[in-house]
Amino acid sequence: MLKKSFLIIASFAVIYLSLQAQQASNDANPLYRNPSIHIGGISVPPITGAPFSATALIEHEQTMPDGTTATTRNLNLIGRDSRGRTHGEMRPWVPTEFHSMPPLNEVHLFDPQTRLQTIYEPATHLARQQIRPEPRETHQPQSQLNPQVTVEDLGSTTLADIDVRGTRRTLTIPAQASGTGAVLTVVDEYWYSDDLHVNIVLRHSDPRIGVETITLSDIKREEPAPEFFQIPQGYKTVDMTPPAGAPRQ
């Protein structure tokens, strides 16, 4: 069952990333083109002056063909310091009855001052590093907004003692493009903090793949410990920076 759920989540990730690409021009939230830590639909941009740390809980629920419901969860730690350095973890999906912290697969670090990106893996004690190029400035003409996407302002509220503003983005997929022979409606709901520049809650609903909810909890608006942004001792570092003149990724 766990393997089956993992395959569901993998499929979800591919579809969700493609939907993000379709909808980006209609996104009501700021688009940040620096390398960001991505946990599900939560992106942590490497901005300065807004330190925090939090637990990101991702829950996915899907109704299977036999009528049963497959539910899995994912739990990771994320954070950013005043210098803009970011930390994001990748752990395996587990059944909802698994209540411990899942084992750590890898950690992603980024330092915007040096442009150094690091990914280290506890299982191999290997840390891959590369210098990321400066982001390109891209501007999309208003005429290229996706007509299949509508955006609704949900107003403002407070979640976990943080002021947030809500946005509902609805994508209508025509029958000829949905792969099901019927019109599909995909809904994303965001509750975004202007202070922290992150979504505190995100809910993604797609009839083909179910519902995923990402919630930040245990949010601490203080400076994380310096070691949160450092490679632990005992790791071998490998420079993965492309040679000069190589095509940009």
pLDDT digit string, tens, across residues 112-147: 999 999 999 999 999 999 998 887 765 555 445 678
Please provide the average confidence, as pLDDT, over all residues in the chain: 80
pLDDT digit string, tens, across residues 52-83: 999 999 999 988 888 888 889 988 999 999 99
Q: Do 214 and 41 contact (CB within 8 A), yes or no?
A: yes
Q: Which of the four CATH numbers 3.40.50.2030, 2.30.33.40, 2.50.20.10, 3.90.79.10 does domain 2-134+147-239 have?
A: 2.50.20.10
Say if pTM beats, i.e. exceeds, 0.85. Answer: no
Provide the pLDDT confidence category of residue 21 given band limits of 50, 70 and 90: very low
Whole-angstrom distance, CA of residue 112 vs CA of residue 50 = 14
pLDDT of residue 195: 94
